[in-house]
């Protein structure tokens, strides 16, 4: 099950940026379903409507239930000033529940990749299509998801940084 979690209507253009490769992928893979969460207001004519479910925005308390049963989280971002400064939260949330994420590049995702995170970053439509196909491999998904969860435990939890933050506060230095 592919899932896309939209938090606001600003994500319409982001999701639209992967419609072509996603449509082609779903046409060739009839076993794949897609759930779209949140306030998306766009037409999706190329997607097989019988395998697409539209669901309301999920509260943060219920997000783990959905992430835990997702086999790939989609996090596309169109390149613009607003998206360039977004955090890696979609990756971190999914990774905490052993769910791999396919994402567009941004500085924070690249930062996590440099720290060793198994972030699957897609550059263009062909890359999205190729990476979607690669995610059909269960062993690959599980490997990426497990490594992503370990990355979050080491780098994505506030508790793992408390000591350095407290030290910085005491000395007036940045960590």
* Residue carrying structure tokens 């439509």: 125
**Measured between alpha carbons, how far is 86 from 13 in angstroms, rounded to an integer?**
15
pLDDT at 167: 72
pLDDT at 96: 94
pLDDT at 135: 97
**Measured between alpha carbons, how far is 97 from 70 in angstroms, rounded to an integer?**
9
The single-letter DSSP state of residue 38 is S
pLDDT at 110: 94
Per-residue pLDDT of the chain (175 residues; tens, 9 = 90+): 999 998 777 789 999 999 999 999 999 999 999 999 998 888 888 899 999 999 999 898 999 999 999 999 999 998 888 877 788 999 999 999 999 999 999 999 999 999 999 999 999 999 999 999 999 999 999 999 999 999 999 987 666 666 766 677 776 555 5
pLDDT at 41: 86
pTM exceeding 0.75 = yes
pLDDT at 48: 94
The residues pairing with 74 across neighbouring beta strands, listed in sequence order, are 4, 102
Residue 172 dihedral angles phi and psi, to the nearest 5°: 70, 25
For 40-69, b/e burial (b = at least 16 CB within 10 A) is: beeebeebeeebeeeeeebeeeebeebbee
**In terms of Cα–Cα distance, which of 52, 111, 60 is closest to 84?**
111
Residues 6+ apart with CB under 8 A from 158: none
């Amino acid at each position: 099950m592919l899932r896309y979690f939209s938090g606001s209507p600003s994500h319409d253009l982001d999701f639209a940026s992967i419609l072509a490769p996603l449509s082609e992928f779903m046409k060739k893979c009839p076993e794949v379903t897609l759930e779209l969460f949140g306030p998306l207001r766009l037409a999706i004519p190329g997607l097989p409507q019988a395998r697409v479910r539209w669901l309301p925005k999920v509260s943060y308390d219920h997000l783990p239930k959905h992430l835990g049963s997702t086999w790939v989280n989609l996090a596309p971002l169109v390149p613009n000033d607003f998206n360039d400064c977004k955090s890696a939260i979609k990756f971190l949330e999914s990774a905490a529940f052993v769910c791999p994420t396919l994402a567009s590049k941004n500085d924070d995702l690249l930062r996590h990749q440099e720290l060793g995170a198994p972030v699957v970053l897609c550059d263009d439509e062909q890359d999205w299509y190729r990476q979607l196909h690669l995610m059909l491999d269960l062993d690959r998904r599980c490997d990426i998801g497990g490594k992503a969860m370990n990355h979050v435990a080491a780098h994505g939890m506030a508790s793992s940084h408390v000591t350095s933050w407290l030290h910085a506060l005491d000395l007036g230095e940045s960590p």
